[in-house]
Amino acid sequence: MFNNKRILISGGTGSFGSKMLKYLISTKVKEIRIFSRDEKKQEDLRRSIKDKRVNYIIGDVRDYKSVFSSTRNIDFVFQAAALKQVPTCEFFPLEAYKTNVLGTSNIIDASIENKVKKIVVLSTDKAVYPINAMGISKAMMEKVAIAKAREIQLKKIKCSICITRYGNVMFSRGSLIPFLINRIKNNENLTLTDPSMTRFLMSLEDSVNLVKEAFLNGKNGDIYIQKAPASKIITIAKSLLKVFNKNNKITIIGPRHGEKIHESLCSSEEMSKAINLKKYYRIPADLRNINYDIHNKKNNIFKNRKAYTSENTKILNEKDLVTLLKKQIEIKDKLFTY
């Protein structure tokens, strides 16, 4: 699917971008462009992955001119650039808006102008029933992407936009598990906000596979979600202590700004039209125009479905979670260097 194609990964030095890059260089892709604004992360990635097909571009998704230049002669775009730390976005909501909403809009507009064939935009469970600035900005980002998908259909433009939604990616930079592992290794207390909080659990490999699924099979405007187990954060902490054979003290500090007790990957309204694909849910976009009276109303009746949340998915106990963690290559690497 990528043979002789040119691909852009915006936010390409992040956890997903680095993982996707490692996958892409194993294919017969013609060129991979890594677009991001952090020169240090680009240099680190360049030194770790040496391949002549990879080109690094310093730029910011907020700057349309640099995005436009970077998407020239590109076949496919993976939009992963984002501000995603919940407390940070709470303190700087306009910055979250500029990157997550305007930045994604720039990526899509430039891609359409440069005749990109397919765009996959990365979102988050926090976009569903959002209560924090990060989630609100991602929810608005999704609305922008679907509005652009509707425009593409109306104007018969040969491009397709899909969205993927993630839960907690276990070893993504700045997430809970790497934070706890660092404290375990430094013999520090494990600080948790609220032990009853639940979070979806996905591997970095899962995140790449979800994007590949949306890329291969997604129709214009689709949202793709991977069914995932979840766990209480207290179970995550205790499981990590077992994996590392440590007994660090666990301290409860209370919720941070903008945190939810449970996360949702799919709202009840979306579940009423979601298509069950065994491992995934596909949510087709409503691509009708605004003249509602010309459409068939019978096709748009809500069914009574529960939201898909980290509270009602499969909840992993300590034993299950220890088994899952030990399978992850990132844990094996940490244990080896411990």
Q: What is the mean pLDDT of residues 234-239?
A: 96
Look at domain 6-167+203-227+266-303 and name its CATH class: alpha beta
Q: What is the mean pLDDT of residues 213-219?
A: 96
Q: What is the mean pLDDT of residues 184-201?
A: 94
Please identify which of the residues 126, 138, 232, 260 carries the catalytic annotation.
126
pLDDT at position 291 is 82
Q: Is the pLDDT of residue 252 over 80?
A: yes
pLDDT at position 219 is 96
Rounded Cα distance between 325 and 44, Å, is 26
Task: Give the strand order in the sheet containing 230-232.
Answer: 168-169, 198-202, 230-232
Rounded Cα distance between 335 and 251, Å, is 24
| Segment 74-86, tens digit of pLDDT | 999 999 999 999 9
Among residues 208, 206, 209, 242, the alpha carbon closest in space to that of 320 is found at: 242
pLDDT at position 9 is 98
**Positive/negative CA dihedral, 123, 124, 127, 129:** positive
pLDDT at position 296 is 66
pLDDT at position 303 is 73
Q: Is the pLDDT of residue 300 over 70?
A: no
**126 annotated active-site:** yes
Q: Is the pLDDT of residue 100 over 80?
A: yes
Question: Residue 53 carries which side chain, given as an amino acid letter?
Answer: R
Q: Is the pLDDT of residue 269 over 90?
A: yes
The b/e string for 301-316 (b: 16+ C-beta within 10 A; e otherwise) is: eeeeeebbbbbebeeb
Provide the pairing of β-strand 160-166 with 118-124.
parallel
Least confident of 55-59, 244-248, 285-289: 285-289
**Mean pLDDT of all residues in the chain?**
93
Percent of the chain with pLDDT over 90: 87
Read off the pTM: 0.93
Give residue limits of the domains in the chain. Answer: 6-167+203-227+266-303
**What confidence category does residue 338 fall into, taking pLDDT thresholds of 50, 70 and 90?**
low
Q: What is the mean pLDDT of residues 10-19?
A: 94
Q: Is the pLDDT of residue 298 over 70?
A: no
Percent of the chain with pLDDT over 70: 97
| Segment 129-154, tens digit of pLDDT | 999 999 999 999 999 999 999 999 99
